[in-house]
Amino acid sequence: MEAAQLLGYRILVTTAGELSFTDGQPTAMCHKATLRPAVVHDGHRLADTEWYIFTIRALCTLSDADAVIMRTDPPVDAAQLSRLLTRPILTTGS
């Protein structure tokens, strides 16, 4: 995310519980995030304890994004698994 921000991309953050479909499009309520990049000191990455700031919260259409990355911290519980498995699979024609 830090590299994407440095390249000028905006960073939007959401949770699995915020995923939905609006007018047939994958959407999520997202927070715009500004990151404070970690620094390298003596070969170790050091991050500020407040390494991000959330600002605007809005409904985002995920298909408008250049990249969507999903990270689930262990353990994956039954609710998270159910949300993933019950989502329709979207395909695009080429």
Residue range 44-54, pLDDT digits in tens: 988 888 888 89
Examine residue 26 and state whether it is found in any structural domain, yes or no. Answer: yes
pTM for the whole thing? 0.63
pLDDT band for position 64 (cuts 50, 70, 90) = confident
Examine residue 31 and state whether it is found in any structural domain, yes or no. Answer: yes
| Contact present, 26 and 62 (Cβ < 8 Å) | yes
Distance CA 78, CA 12 (A): 25
Range of 81's domain? 2-85
Tell me the pLDDT tens digit for each residue of 24-42: 889 999 999 998 888 888 9
Domain count, the chain: 1
| Contact present, 11 and 5 (Cβ < 8 Å) | yes
Q: What is the CATH number of the domain that holds 70?
A: 3.40.50.20
Cα dist. 25→30, 56, 67 in Å? Answer: 15, 21, 15
Whole-number pLDDT of residue 94: 47
Whole-number pLDDT of residue 30: 93
